[in-house]
């Protein structure tokens, strides 16, 4: 294959909680005949420590990431927040100046999957089919961190049989925020409730997003509320080839 | 780390009335703002100009301070620079004492809240009347403002009517016009009788030495013209070089603050009444307060916080503020900008405020002067954790970072956590994570069979 060699960056919580999404990403890449590989040494990008204020610890993860992904033409991940983290490595004072220079280079080559497909490869129809209605949730790090708004919607609109709905009230934070949801669980749950009410108003129980962390959080809250909820990563639906 | 915000948030979230009031007040303001921004094609450019102007002001502050001092003194006004809150309180009291002032009407001023001026004046036997309707309401309730531009947004008109009946002895219903009239009836004699008016300043123009005040109720006009003495007190960062600089700032401020294209009144005041004229106070003083600002300007990372023009838009759009209001934070500067201001100006260093944020970035997007709020919040978190030293939380992150160096061990730990989450009973996860799992189920590995059935894919 003549195209770029793509390293798949599978965030650790995707690996832990939704390995099927990682599998779907590989299937999707195969179907699009992309030249991909998955660096076996990869672990965590360091975002949890960075957001919690432990930047030295985050820098250790960052240094490892920069080594693990040094050779890739492009790094592609099914998570906007992890990509946003990689693009901020340059802010970590604990990294050496060589590492920070590498961080700028790798940050430029690292993409969230929807943005990579639409903005870099110029693909909007991946040949997927899924029968059903889904609502799209803008993850904050996708929307504001990476400026991803239309890309996943464009891809989803081209999935045959898929009925894409918008959440009323526009983009709103789901209330996860990593360490925030642990330190302020009540405020976080109240934010989730607002999103779940918006989902309910769309008439579908299926929510799709670029970030599984939002969906896991909302799904957990929906379970406590007794509200039907199915969370899909965009990639799950782009890989789908169900009957229409 | 103190848990005071969390404790308060539990009560505030259960207060349906408060939730309703916050939702309505903030929702209206945000909608009006969004409509005005949408119809203004030059908004982005205005924000760039305003950011550059504010940065220029911060860069040239010592020079601008000297310039404004010359201007104010040249017109017979008093100029005072106070290093901290105690010095500022003492200076204001000194000015009032020398003028024999025993009754003061105030315009809304966050710096006067920051330095706790009212309490100091009252302790001195000086009567203080807040002239802004919202400020009067919170003063009568014995509260502090719940928002930096809308002090009483936590209340609705029925609650305000009940307050006025009780505290002012006025027989009013909850009609907004009649409520405003009741406040006016109460305040008018004080505007007429006060010895001094104390206001803040939205901006101070260095080249002309003028104090700029933006308002909707014209109470500031009364407080700065009727009493014989006017004291304007504000932070040193409010200086701008030129009168022309007001154009972009005054275009951004009311839209961002209240969703108004323009505020009802803008006063540009030049000091004491010149001899031979009839208008203005006989005596004028400008009090510029540092109180931690110089240190903030010297801070290479947190410095952009001082671009802030106190519009309150970052509070309005913040999903946490929308749920707990200003009182939830327990600091006079709440919400996103409050994370930096409470630490730098109020000495709040516990970091609790900085962690009451989901890092959604809505504040970055709305700020009219482009303060990179979420970046600053991350920095305050970093410093708070540094100050906290070795904590269990740090050890956990250190252990995680160590484990992340060993891919095989890391993958085994992920697999183990996947199994543990699937099987451990709810009481165990609840005891492990406190409130987290009371309110939401532990994230479960997704059932891949379900995914396969619904999408015709999902095999790994």
Instruction: Summarize pLDDT for B186-197 with one digit per residue, the tens.
Output: 999 999 999 999
- 66-105 in A: which are within 8 Å (CB) of B? none
Whether residue B181 has pLDDT greater than 70: yes
Which residue is associated with the tokens 């209001």?
Answer: B325
ipTM of the complex: 0.96
Q: Give the nearest chain B residue to A237 (CA atoms).
A: B455
Mean pLDDT of all residues in B42-62: 98
Mean pLDDT of all residues in A1-15: 88
Whether residue B336 has pLDDT greater than 80: yes
- Provide the CATH topology of domain A5-119: Rossmann fold (3.40.50)
Q: Provide the pLDDT for residue B458.
A: 44
Local confidence band at A2 (pLDDT 50, 70, 90 cut-offs): low
Q: Provide the pLDDT for residue A3.
A: 77
Which residue is associated with the tokens 């219903």?
Answer: B173
Same domain, B278 and B146: yes
Quote the mean pLDDT of chain B.
Answer: 93
Of residues B309 and B442, more confidence is placed in: B309
Backbone Cα Rg of chain A: 18
Q: Does A186 touch chain B (CB under 8 A)?
A: yes
Q: Is residue B137 part of a domain?
A: yes
Q: Give the nearest chain A residue to B405 (CA atoms).
A: A64
The answer to whether residues B224 and B270 touch, using CB atoms and an 8 Å cutoff, is no
Q: Give the nearest chain A residue to B380 (CA atoms).
A: A53
Q: Provide the pLDDT for residue B431.
A: 56
Mean pLDDT of all residues in B329-351: 93
Question: Distance (Å, rounded) from C-alpha B350 to C-alpha B2?
Answer: 7
Local confidence band at B277 (pLDDT 50, 70, 90 cut-offs): confident
Q: Provide the pLDDT for residue B459.
A: 39
Local confidence band at A56 (pLDDT 50, 70, 90 cut-offs): very high
Q: Which of A54, A182, A191 sits opposite B319 (nearest CB)?
A: A191
Instruction: Confirm whether A5-119 and A126-239 share one CATH topology.
Output: yes
Q: Which of A18, A180, A191 sits opposite B446 (nearest CB)?
A: A18
The answer to whether residues A175 and B358 touch, using CB atoms and an 8 Å cutoff, is yes
Which of B319, B413, B419, B421 best tests the A interface by mutation, with the highest count of A CBs <10 A? B319
Question: What 3-state class would DSSP assign to B57?
Answer: helix
pLDDT in tens, B398-414: 999 999 999 999 999 98
Local confidence band at B276 (pLDDT 50, 70, 90 cut-offs): confident
Domain range summary for chain A, segments of one domain joined by +: 5-119, 126-239
The distance of A16 to chain B (nearest Cα, Å) reads 5
Q: Provide the pLDDT for residue B460.
A: 34
Q: Is residue B244 part of a domain?
A: yes
Q: Is residue B233 part of a domain?
A: yes
Local confidence band at B456 (pLDDT 50, 70, 90 cut-offs): low
Q: Provide the pLDDT for residue B351.
A: 85
Whether residue B430 has pLDDT greater than 60: no
Our count of domains for chain B comes to 2
Q: Which tokens go with A151?
A: 């890309």
Q: Provide the pLDDT for residue B203.
A: 98
CB pairs under 8 A between A and B: 216
Domain boundary among B294, B311, B334: B294
Question: Distance (Å, rounded) from C-alpha B65 to C-alpha B79?
Answer: 10
Same domain, B138 and B282: yes
Q: Looking at beta carbons, which residues of chain A come within 8 Å of B432?
A: none
Mean pLDDT of all residues in B273-295: 94
Does the beta-carbon distance from A183 to B457 stay under 8 Å? no
The distance of B237 to chain A (nearest Cα, Å) reads 27
Whether residue B103 has pLDDT greater than 80: yes
Mean pLDDT of all residues in B130-145: 97
Q: Which of A15, A23, A185 sits opposite B414 (nearest CB)?
A: A15
Domain boundary among B294, B322, B337: B294
Sheet with A110-112, edge to edge strand ranges: A35-37, A5-8, A74-77, A110-112
Q: Provide the pLDDT for residue B348.
A: 85
Q: Is residue B218 part of a domain?
A: yes
Does the beta-carbon distance from A22 to B460 stay under 8 Å? yes
Question: Distance (Å, rounded) from C-alpha B419 to C-alpha A17?
Answer: 10
Question: Distance (Å, rounded) from C-alpha B109 to C-alpha B130?
Answer: 10
Mean pLDDT of all residues in B434-453: 66
Of residues B275 and B44, more confidence is placed in: B44
Question: Distance (Å, rounded) from C-alpha A134 to C-alpha A145?
Answer: 24
Mean pLDDT of all residues in B98-108: 98
Task: Give the pairing of strands A230-233 and B103-106.
Answer: unpaired
Q: Provide the pLDDT for residue B323.
A: 98
Task: Give the pairing of strands B196-199 and B229-235.
Answer: parallel
Contacts of B256 (CB under 8 A, 6+ apart): B33, B311, B312, B313, B366, B368
Mean pLDDT of all residues in B11-19: 97
In terms of Cβ atoms closer than 10 Å to its own Cβ (0-12, 13-18, 19+), residue B417 is: middle
Same domain, B282 and B418: no
Local confidence band at B436 (pLDDT 50, 70, 90 cut-offs): low
Whether residue B205 has pLDDT greater than 70: yes
Task: Kindly report the number of other CB atoms within 10 A of residue A158's CB atom.
Answer: 16
Domain boundary among B294, B314, B332: B294
Which residue is associated with the tokens 């036997």?
Answer: B125
Whether residue B451 has pLDDT greater than 90: no
Of residues B400 and B348, more confidence is placed in: B400
Which of A162, A184, A224, A236 best tests the B interface by mutation, with the highest count of B CBs <10 A? A184
Sheet with B265-269, edge to edge strand ranges: B239-240, B203-205, B210-215, B265-269
Q: Which domain holds residue B429?
A: 406-455
Q: Is residue B199 part of a domain?
A: yes
Mean pLDDT of all residues in B416-427: 72
Percent of chain A with pLDDT over 90: 93
Local confidence band at B1 (pLDDT 50, 70, 90 cut-offs): very low
Supply the CATH number for residue B219's domain. 3.40.50.10420
Same domain, B289 and B414: no
- Provide the CATH topology of domain A126-239: Rossmann fold (3.40.50)
Q: Give the nearest chain B residue to A132 (CA atoms).
A: B454
Mean pLDDT of all residues in A62-86: 97
Does the beta-carbon distance from B439 to A221 stay under 8 Å? yes
Same domain, B411 and B290: no
Q: Is residue B263 part of a domain?
A: yes
Mean pLDDT of all residues in B173-185: 95
Q: Looking at beta carbons, which residues of chain B come within 8 Å of A49?
A: 397, 400-401
Question: Distance (Å, rounded) from C-alpha A165 to C-alpha A167?
Answer: 7
Q: Looking at beta carbons, which residues of chain B come within 8 Å of A181?
A: 358, 436, 440
Percent of chain B with pLDDT over 70: 92
- 192-221 in A: which are within 8 Å (CB) of B? 192, 216-217, 219-221
Q: Is residue B360 part of a domain?
A: no
The answer to whether residues A155 and A135 touch, using CB atoms and an 8 Å cutoff, is no
Q: Which of B1, B6, B414 sits opposite A16 (nearest CB)?
A: B414
DSSP B216-284: SSSHHHHHHHSSSEEEEEEEGGGEES-GGGHHHHHHHHHHHHHS-SS-SEEEEE-SSPPTT---S-SEE
Mean pLDDT of all residues in B358-370: 98
């Amino acid at each position: 294959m003549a195209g770029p060699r793509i390293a798949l960056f599978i965030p650790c919580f995707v690996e832990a909680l939704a390995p099927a999404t990682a599998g779907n990403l590989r299937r999707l890449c195969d179907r699009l005949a992309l030249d991909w590989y998955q660096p076996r040494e990869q672990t965590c990008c360091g975002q949890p420590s960075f957001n919690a204020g432990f930047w030295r610890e985050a820098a250790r993860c960052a240094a490892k990431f920069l080594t693990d992904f040094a050779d890739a033409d492009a790094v592609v991940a099914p998570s906007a927040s992890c990509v946003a983290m990689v693009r901020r490595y340059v802010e970590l004072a604990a990294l050496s100046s060589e590492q920070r220079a590498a961080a700028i280079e790798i940050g430029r080559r690292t993409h969230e999957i929807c943005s990579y497909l639409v903005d870099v490869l110029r693909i909007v129809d991946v040949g997927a089919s899924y029968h059903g209605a889904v609502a799209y949730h803008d993850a904050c790090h996708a929307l504001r961190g990476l400026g991803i708004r239309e890309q996943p919607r464009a891809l989803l609109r081209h999935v045959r049989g898929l009925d894409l709905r918008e959440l009323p009230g526009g983009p709103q934070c789901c209330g996860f925020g990593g360490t925030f949801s642990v330190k302020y669980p009540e405020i976080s749950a109240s934010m989730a409730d607002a999103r779940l009410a918006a989902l309910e108003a769309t008439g579908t129980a299926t929510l799709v997003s670029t970030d599984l962390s939002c969906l896991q959080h909302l799904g957990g809250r929906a379970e406590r509320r007794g509200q039907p909820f199915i969370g899909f990563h965009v990639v799950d639906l782009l890989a789908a080839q169900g009957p229409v | 780390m103190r848990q005071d915000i969390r404790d308060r948030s539990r009560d505030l979230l259960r207060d349906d009335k408060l939730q309703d009031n916050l939702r309505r007040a903030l929702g209206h303001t945000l909608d009006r703002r969004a409509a005005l921004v949408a119809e203004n094609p030059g908004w982005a450019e205005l924000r760039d100009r305003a950011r550059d102007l504010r940065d220029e002001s911060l860069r040239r502050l010592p020079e601008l301070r000297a310039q404004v001092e010359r201007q104010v003194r040249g017109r017979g006004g008093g100029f005072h620079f106070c290093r901290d809150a105690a010095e500022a309180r003492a200076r204001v009291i000194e000015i009032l004492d020398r003028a024999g002032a025993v009754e003061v009407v105030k315009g809304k001023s966050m710096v006067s809240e920051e330095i706790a001026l009212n309490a100091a004046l009252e302790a001195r036997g000086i009567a203080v009347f807040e002239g802004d309707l919202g400020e009067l309401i919170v003063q009568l309730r014995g509260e502090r403002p719940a928002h930096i531009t809308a002090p009483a947004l936590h209340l609705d008109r029925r609650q305000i009517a009940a307050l006025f009946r009780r505290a002012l002895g006025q027989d009013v219903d909850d009609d907004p016009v009649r409520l405003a009239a009741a406040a006016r009836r109460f305040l008018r004699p004080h505007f007429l009788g006060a010895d001094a008016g104390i206001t803040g300043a939205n901006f101070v123009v260095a080249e002309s030495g003028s104090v700029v005040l933006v308002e909707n109720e014209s109470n500031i006009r009364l407080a700065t013209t009727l009493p014989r003495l006017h004291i304007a007190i504000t932070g040193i960062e409010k200086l701008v070089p030129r009168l022309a600089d007001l154009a972009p700032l005054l275009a951004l401020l009311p839209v961002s603050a209240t969703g108004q294209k323009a505020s009802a009144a803008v006063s540009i005041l030049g000091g004491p009444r010149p001899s031979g004229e009839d208008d203005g106070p006989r005596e004028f003083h400008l009090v510029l307060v540092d109180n931690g600002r110089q240190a903030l300007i010297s801070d290479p990372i947190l410095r952009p916080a001082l671009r802030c023009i106190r519009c309150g838009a970052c509070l309005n759009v913040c999903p946490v503020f929308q749920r707990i209001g200003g009182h939830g934070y327990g600091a006079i500067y709440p919400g996103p900008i409050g994370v930096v201001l409470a630490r730098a100006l109020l000495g709040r260093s516990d970091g609790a405020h900085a962690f009451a944020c989901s890092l959604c970035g809505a504040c970055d997007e709305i700020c009219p002067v482009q303060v990179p709020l979420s970046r600053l919040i991350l920095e305050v978190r970093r410093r708070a954790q540094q100050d906290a030293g070795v904590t269990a939380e740090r050890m956990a992150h250190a252990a995680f970072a160590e484990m992340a160096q060993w891919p095989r061990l890391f993958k085994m730990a992920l697999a183990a956590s996947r199994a543990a989450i699937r099987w451990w009973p709810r009481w165990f996860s609840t005891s492990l994570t406190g409130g987290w799992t009371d309110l939401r189920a532990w994230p479960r590995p997704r059932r891949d069979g379900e995914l396969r059935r619904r999408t015709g894919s999902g095999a790994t």
